[in-house]
Each structure stands twice: as structure tokens, then as C-alpha cells.
Amino acid sequence: MMTSDAHSYLSGLSNPFPSSRVTTSHNQAFSTFLPSGFRNLRKQRYRGEDFDISVSALSSVDQEHIRKLYGFAKGIYVRWVEMRDAPDWDALRRMVLSFLSPPLSTSAKELGVDSLAHCARGEAEQALGKVLHDLRGGALMPLQLYAHMAEWDADPVHLRSAAFLARDQAKIMRNVLPDLDPEVRSADEAEKPHYIQAVVEKWDLFRFERANQAPGHVNVTCAYDGLLASCCLEASAVDRIVYNYINNAIRFTAGPVINMEIVPVGDHAVRWIVANPITPDQAEWLKKSTNGDLSSLFRGGVTRGGNGLGLSNCADFVAAAFGLPDINAALEGKYLGAVVEDGWYLAWAHWPSLYTQ
């Protein structure tokens, strides 16, 4: 149960159980962790490129895993588009459930293991590990959760959500591996503005299972009414950030609700905040592991059961989006970061506005 102090604190940040989609003003204490202004040093908008590798950089074993998983993710969404006017829910459910059995379950579990085993140690290993992290995580992690839910729950709403998770995973895979599907990757790069409302609809009331298999969901409040991204490739870069934040929150939340808030910052940026309650043990671990400086979470290597690379990927993208020289500049400028307050872990990131309506 949420304590009165935590409820009061989060109410100042954004109502965790909103009756509307209008956010409240930030709590003054939390605002001290956030920057007062931004500089975007880029002359041209960042479109989500970079931080990728060629399929050929992976071992032949992992290339086969990639093609199986990509074919699955792309295939589910293509099938959904074909049937959405007259859905065959049983057929869609069978496709989703296939993720839980070999060969797909094997590919999801073993993806990257062979490549890392044969990779030179040092910077090359870390660079490979960073992109593999988003291939193994991304939308694949919640898609696995939805596949498990489909074992006992054939709710069409959840099956449709699984189809859109598959779409996101296919986009993320093309973002990470530009030569995986060159024709569709080219389409991803074409001008196609993405509305923020599609993000809100995707995440608001998104269901998940916590570590103890108890149910949970995401609450979204959004005060930004502009566009998210200029093309699918840029949208998938934002997805790589948001999925990292949400996946971390799902792993460590101590309560049934994860809050996501999206707000404009002046005329030039959008702020994303993902908040989840944590246990005193987790709060203490974060304090000790980071020496009280949670920005180290975004520099790589600090982890509790993972590889510590996901948040550094987020820092790479945010720094690139604003034309900053490196992730240190992004962290020092508070373009992204995290804080623990009153039993809640709050992670934020910013992205340049496309334009407001």
C-alpha cells in the first residue's frame, strides 16, 4: 500500500490515479533535480540513427536467432494489419503463444550469448553488449509477459496490445540492425510525423506482471499535445529509451502502479518521467552502489541482476538528440537522470519537441 508521504509526494509530481489526463505542477523538491533550460546544439533534427551494428557483426548462430525473432515480430503485426477489420482472435492468440515454445523461446533466451562468447574483451565487448541489450529487452520483454497472459487470458484487448508490442520490437530491431530489412528500414527513415497520443494510448493502463506475479499497470498523464517524432526511425529511438525505463520499473516496482508523465518543457523539449515505488532494501542498494550519485546508473556497469547497459543506451540517445558532446554532458546538464525520493524511484529523460499544435 502507498504510504501517505509517498502519496503526497507523487501527487505533487503527477496524480498517480488521475481522473483526467491533465498533469499537475511538479513538486518543488523534485524540480531541484531538473534543469531550468535546454540547449539543442544540433542544426538538423536527430532522426534516431547511430548506436547500431551490422547483422554481420553477430555470429552465425545469433544471426539465425535474429532472423527468427524478427520474422516472428514482423509477422504478428503484418497479420494483425490484415485482420484488424475482422479479427481472428484465436489465430492471433496462437501466434502470440508460439513465442513461448522452441524455436522462438530458445532464440529469445540465447540471443547474443554466442556473439559475446567469441567477442574480444574491452570496448568491443561493451559496444556489442549495449546493442544486444536492446535487442533482448526492448518490447521483447513485455511481449513475453503478454504471451504468458495469453495462456490463460484470451482478452482481445491484450492480444491487440501484443500485436503492437511486436510492431515496436520489429522497429527496434531495424533501428539496431540497419541491414536486417533494408527495404522497411528505408521506409522507417521516410518523413512520417508520429503523434504523442499514440504513445499515450499504448502505455496508459498497460498491464504487466510484477516479479511476484502480482498484476500491475501503467498510468500515463500527458500535458504535451505536439508530435513525438519525425519518422519511424526516430520513434524507435524514443522507444528504446522508454522501454528501458518501463522494463526497469517492472523489474523493481514494489507496488501495482507505475506512473509515466509526459510534459512540455518550454517550446523546445518534452520531458518523460517514469516512477515506481521501491523497497527500502532497493533504495539502500541504489545509494550504496552509486555512492549517492544515481547518474552513475547511466554510465554503465551498475546493475542488480542485469548487465548495467540499458540506461547508458538511453544516455547515448539523449545526448545525440540534443547534439551534446557525450553522455557526461547530458548527465551533468540533467537532460536525463534518476532520483529516489520518499520510497519512489523516478527516472526522467528529455527529447526535442517536433512542434506543438
Average pLDDT score over the chain: 86
Q: Record the cell numbers describing residue 141, joined without a space.
A: 520483454
Rounded to an integer, what distance in angstroms lies between the CA atom of residue 4 and that of residue 222? Answer: 24
- The pLDDT tens digits of the residues spanning 271-320 come to 999 999 999 999 999 999 889 999 999 987 665 655 568 899 999 999 99
The yes or no reply on domain 1-50+193-357 and CATH 3.30.565.10 is yes
- What are the residue boundaries of the structural domains of the chain, listed by start? 1-50+193-357, 53-177
DSSP secondary structure string for all residues of 34-80: S-S------SS---S--S---GGGS-HHHHHHHHHHHHHHHHHHHHH
Lowest mean pLDDT among 10-14, 62-66, 110-114, 335-339: 10-14
- The pLDDT tens digits of the residues spanning 181-219 come to 999 999 999 999 999 988 898 999 999 888 777 899 999
Confidence of residue 33 (pLDDT cuts 50, 70, 90): low
- Is pLDDT larger for residue 347 or for residue 4? 347
Count other C-beta atoms under 10 Å from residue 135's C-beta: 24
**Distance from the Cα of residue 22 to its chain's centroid:** 23
Does pLDDT of 11 surpass 50?
no
